[in-house]
Amino acid sequence: MRKTNAVLAATPAVTRRAVLKTGAALSLAVAAPAIVSRQALSSSGEVRVYAWAGYFSDTMLADFQKKTGIKPVRVEFGSNEEQINQIRANQGKGFDLAMPTIDRVPSYVKDGLVRPLDESKVKWDAVIDGNLRGADQGGGMVDGKRYVAPTDWGTEALTFDVKQAPLQYGTASYGDLWKPEYQGMVTLRGHSGLVGIGLYLQDAGKLPHSMKEAFADPDKMVANYDIILKTAIENKKSIAQFWTNENEAQGAFRTNGCVIGQTWDSTGARLKAEGMPIGYIAPKEGALAWIEGFAMLSGAENIAQAYEFINWYYTPEVGAMYANETKINTTVKGAEKHLEAFNRDFFAAAYPGDALGKLWSWPIQNEWFITKRNEYQEKFLAA
């Protein structure tokens, strides 16, 4: 898919994905993850949110409590795998809201971990239209029922040292990671790095099927990924470090000598904000785009409070607060009026020209695909 995806059909407020902070406080009212006791959920005056690390600061949670009188309890996770594994372990209990990436939502529904949202209780008019359509079409709506209230979107593309590995839009490519001059100075994540290689090979006409088809058909997936894996292993000597979370991706540039990598947009934004000579750019094959949102867990007990939390987020001032603090693209209408200049400038540099029209949105990742994808990733890592 090379045309503008519905996820980004409208220009959203602009910022970047959250930064994981080592040792960050877990909550305004700290809670242990694991299996949560029912006694801890007995208060009708609280809401328990299982959120991406760094997404909701103490300042934001204090704002929510001041405006609603409801005590927010934040527990954090660092990856989609950690999130769904914890929720499965709890059998959909222990939290009221979680934040799955849209393409993973059908798996939550299949396992009975989330419940449909009550459409009448959410202020949908406050959501950017394109983001709402994108969330629905990308996995957030199952069998005609809406399971997710979209909160943010972002990309995975090329982060680079502007002095040692300068890139320009229009020529920048996932293939740049494998240039001889960058050998031993590349960072990427295993499974999404394989997708980047796939898009590079697809653009060069070297795959039997499109990458979108590979997500929908097991035979086509194997046919593509056998070629992708071969290319990945042949070039593995270029990789200095694999990353699995934001801290690791940033560390690759800060301390491990990397000058180029395939990372989340937040990696480039955070490093640049710290004064490092770092840029972030969408490659000609298209930046990998994702969207996330609030989902109501099947075992949620503070339901009215959870809807209050969603609707508090869906105000321009809070959407902008979220964006400015986390460096993530918010889905809230009007938030762009309250954004800091750094966020607007970073966005413009990352997605110039027709970059938004070339975004490659993650397809729904069914269980068979994730299982097979992980097998290829392990072969890549172990090679």
Q: Are 263 and 225 in contact (CB under 8 A)?
A: no
The chain-wide mean pLDDT, for the chain, equals 88
C-beta neighbour count of 66 within 10 angstroms: 8
Write the DSSP symbol of residue 295: E
How many Å apart are CA 11 and CA 225, to the nearest integer?
33
What pLDDT, on a 0 to 100 scale, did the predictor assign at position 95? 98
> What own/partner pairs with CB < 8 Å and gap ≥ 24 does 89-92 have?
89/34, 89/35, 90/34, 90/35, 90/36, 90/299, 91/299, 92/297, 92/298, 92/299
What pLDDT, on a 0 to 100 scale, did the predictor assign at position 138? 92
Compute CA distances 3 → 32, 77, 216, 286, whole Å. Answer: 43, 33, 19, 10
Is 21's pLDDT higher than 70? no
What pLDDT, on a 0 to 100 scale, did the predictor assign at position 357? 86
Is 97's pLDDT higher than 60? yes
Q: What is the SS3 assignment for 112?
A: coil
Torsions phi, psi for 114 (to 5 deg): -130, 160
What pLDDT, on a 0 to 100 scale, did the predictor assign at position 336? 87
Q: What is the SS3 assignment for 77?
A: strand
Is 122's pLDDT higher than 60? yes
Which tokens is 98 given? 């979680």
What pLDDT, on a 0 to 100 scale, did the predictor assign at position 86? 97
In CATH, which of 3.40.190.10, 3.40.50.10800, 3.40.50.1980, 3.30.200.20 is domain 9-153+290-354?
3.40.190.10
What pLDDT, on a 0 to 100 scale, did the predictor assign at position 327? 80
Give the rounded percent of residues in the chain with a pLDDT score beyond 90. 78
DSSP string, 5-74: PGGGSS------PPPP-TT----SS----SSPPGGGG--TTEEEEEEETTSS-HHHHHHHHHHH-PEEEE
Domains 9-153+290-354 and 154-288+360-382 share a fold: yes
Q: Average of pLDDT values for 327-356?
A: 90
What pLDDT, on a 0 to 100 scale, did the predictor assign at position 79? 87
- pLDDT-derived band at 2 (thresholds 50, 70, 90) equals very low
| Domain at 154-288+360-382: CATH code | 3.40.190.10
- Sequence letter at residue 18: A
More confident residue, 70 or 31: 70
Domain range summary for the chain, segments of one domain joined by +: 9-153+290-354, 154-288+360-382
Is 32's pLDDT higher than 50? no
Is 119's pLDDT higher than 90? yes
What pLDDT, on a 0 to 100 scale, did the predictor assign at position 325? 87
The answer for residues whose C-beta is within 8 angstroms of residue 371's C-beta and 6 or more apart is: none
Closest CA to 326 of 30, 21, 23, 122: 21
Q: Average of pLDDT values for 355-381?
A: 93
Torsions phi, psi for 12 (to 5 deg): -80, 170
Q: Average of pLDDT values for 147-164?
A: 96
- Sequence letter at residue 15: T
What pLDDT, on a 0 to 100 scale, did the predictor assign at position 240? 98
- pLDDT-derived band at 130 (thresholds 50, 70, 90) equals confident
Closest CA to 268 of 285, 282, 286: 282
pLDDT in tens, 158-167: 999 999 999 9
pLDDT in tens, 232-241: 999 999 999 9
Lowest mean pLDDT among 36-50, 181-195, 264-278, 367-381: 36-50
More confident residue, 160 or 337: 160
Write the DSSP symbol of residue 186: E
Q: Average of pLDDT values for 354-370?
A: 91
How many Å apart are CA 177 and CA 197, to the nearest integer?
9
Q: Average of pLDDT values for 267-280?
A: 94
Q: Where are the beta strands (DSSP E) in the chain?
A: 46-52, 71-77, 97-98, 114-115, 141-142, 145-146, 149-161, 186-188, 239-242, 260-264, 278-281, 288-297, 329-330, 360-361
Is 272's pLDDT higher than 60? yes
